[in-house]
Structure 1
Amino acid sequence: MAKYYDEIPESLIEWVRKQHMFWVASAPLGPGGHVNVSPKGTADCFHVVNSHRVWYQDLSGSGVETISHIRENGRITILFHSFEGPPRILRLYGIGTVYEYGTQEYESLIPPETRKPGSRAAIAIDVYQCQTSCGYAVPIYDFVTHRTQLLRSFDLKESHDRATTSTEIHPKGLKAYWILKNLSSVDGLPALQTAPDSKVPCPSTFDKEGPRPKLHRLSSRDADILSTTGAALAVGFAIGALVATALPRILSATGYFSIRA
C-alpha cells in the first residue's frame, strides 16, 4: 500500500544511500512532447543533502532531456526500487535546478577530485513529496559491479580537450560532443547553455588502469562439458525410446506374453 510523506524519512535516506541505481523521469509542458525516463547507475553520483533536498551528478550522453525539461518547467521525479532484500519502491517528487559544468554552483557541489568523466551538470532537486509502495513485482537481482564504459569513453574525449589550448575546441573532445548532441532536446527545447563555452579544464581523476567489468560467460571447458552432457542425454533418450518401442514386440515374438498368460 502506498504511503506519502512531506519529506524523506531518515530511515529511507539511509536506504537510498545504499542503492546502486535510480531512475529519473521528466516531461515537457507540450502535449506532443516526449516523456523521458532515464536510468542512472554510476557509483557515488546521487547525494542526499537533507530530508528536502537531493542532487546528482549528471553525466553526458546522446540525450539531454532532463536538463531541457527542468529548464522549461522544473518538474522531476526520482525513482528507487529494491533489487535485493525486502521489496520497496520510493519516488521523490520535486522541482529541479540545473547547475552546468563550469559554474560556481557546480564547482561547490562537484570539486575536481569527485568529478566523473563526462560530468556536464549537477541536478539539484527540492523534494516536496515522498512516496513509498510495495515493489512486489520488482524482480530480485544480485548486484555484480558498475559498468565503466561510459566513464572510459568520456575520459578519452576529455583527454583531447586537455591537449588543446583553452580557446580551442577539439573536434573529438567533450565540448564538441556537447555542441553536437546536448544543446537541445529531441523536442527542440534548449539544454546546455554555458558548459560548451566554459574555460574550466576537465580534470583527470579516472583510473584508466582499473578493472574492466566483463559479462559472465561460459569457459570453453564448461561449454564442452555442457555439450558432452547434452549429447549423452540425447543418446540416452533415443536409446530409451527405442527400447520402449521394441521391447514389447521382442517379448511377444518369444512367447513371453503368452507363457505368462
Structure 2
Amino acid sequence: MGQFFDTIPTSLIPWIQKQHMFWVATAPLGGEGHVNVSPKGLDGAFHVVDEKTVWYEDISGSGIETIAHLRETGNGRITVMLSAFEGPPRICRLFGTGKVHEFGTPEYDRLLPPNERRPGSRAAIVITVHKVGTSCGYAVPYYEFKSHRTQLLEFYQRREKAEVESATVDAPEKGMRSYWLQKNMSSIDGIPGLLSAPYSDKEFRWSERDLERKIEMVMDKTSSMVDLKLVLAFTVGVVVSRLAWR
C-alpha cells in the first residue's frame, strides 16, 4: 500500500543512493503547456543532502524543459521518481520545488568543482522536498543493470575541448556554448531556459572518471573473452586427448 511522509525516511536513503537512474517531471503553469518527463542516469549524479534536500547534476540535452519550468515565475514544481528493477519492488516519489544553479555560478562551483564535474554539465538542480510518496511497484518488471552509457559524455567532451582549444573570443561553431545557444535557450513552449551559462567566461574542466570507467569496462570484457578462450581451448584439448586414447 502507498505511504506518504513529510520528509525522506532515513531508512529509504541507502536505497535511493543505490539506484542507477531516476526520472524528473515538471510542467508549465499554463493549461496548454507541455508536461515533461525526463530519464536521468550516470553514476553518482544524484545526491541526498538531508531528509528534505536532494540535488542532481544536470547534463546538457537537446531540450531545456526542466530548467525552464523551474524558473517560470510562480512555478518551480518538480517530482523525482525512482523505481526498483531488482530486489523487492518499490517506487518512490519526491515532491518538491527546485532551484537552478547554472555552470559558471558560485553555487554551481560549490556543488560541482572541476574534479567532480562531467563534460556537458550545465547546471545543478537543488530540490527542497515537501512530500515523499512510496508505493509497491508490483507491476514494474525486473531488469539487469549492465553499465552506464558514455556516448553523451564523449559528445560533450569533444564540444568542450573544441572551445578550450579555440583561439577566438567567440564560441566556436562546434563548441559547448554554441550548442547551448542553439538548443537550450527556451522550452518548446517558449519559456526561457539557460540565462547565464552560454555567456560565462569560466573555463571548461571536467573529471575523466566516467570515461576511464568505460576503458576499464572494455578491458574487463576483453579479459573475460580471453578467459573464455582459454577455457574453451582447455576443454577442446581434454576432449581431443580422450579421443586419442580410445
* Fold shared per TM-score above 0.5: yes
2:92 to 86, 90, 99: 90
The equivalent of 2:6 in structure 1 is 6
Whole-angstrom CA distance in 1 between matches of 2:160 and 2:71: 26
CA spacing shift, 1:209–1:116, aligned 2, 3 Å:
closer
2:151 to 146, 149, 152: 149
Instruction: State the secondary structure of the residue aligned to 2:71.
Output: helix
Deviations 1:190-217 (A, max 9, x none): 0000000001111043265653679x9x
Q: State, as a whole percentage, how many aligned pairs show the same letter.
A: 53
The equivalent of 1:31 in structure 2 is 31
Residues 81 and 89, structure 1, Cα contact 8 Å, conserved in 2: yes
After TM superposition, give the deviation of residue 165 of structure 1 in Å.
Answer: 4.5
* TM-score normalised to structure 1 length: 0.80
Deviations 1:107-166 (A, max 9, x none): 000000000110000000000000000000101011111000000000010001111258
The equivalent of 1:253 in structure 2 is none
Residues 155 and 206, structure 1, Cα contact 8 Å, conserved in 2: no
1:211 has 2:214 as partner: yes
Q: Which runs of 5+ in 2 are unaligned?
A: 222-246
- One-letter code aligned to 1:57: E
Instruction: State the secondary structure of the residue aligned to 2:129.
Output: strand
Instruction: State the secondary structure of the residue aligned to 1:33.
Output: coil
The correspondence of residues 70-149 of structure 1 with structure 2, limited to 5 A, is: 70-72=70-72, 73-149=75-151
1:59 has 2:59 as partner: yes
How large is the Cα RMSD of the aligned pairs?
1.7
The correspondence of residues 169-180 of structure 1 with structure 2, limited to 5 A, is: 169-180=171-182
1:185 has 2:187 as partner: yes
Residues 161 and 169, structure 1, Cα contact 8 Å, conserved in 2: yes
Deviations 1:40-64 (A, max 9, x none): 0111100010000000000000011
Instruction: Give structure 1 regions of 4+ aligned residues with deviation exceeding 6 angstroms.
Output: none
- One-letter code aligned to 1:4: F
- One-letter code aligned to 1:141: Y
* TM-score normalised to structure 2 length: 0.84
Aligned residues: 216
The correspondence of residues 206-245 of structure 1 with structure 2, limited to 5 A, is: 206=208, 211=214
Larger radius of gyration: 1
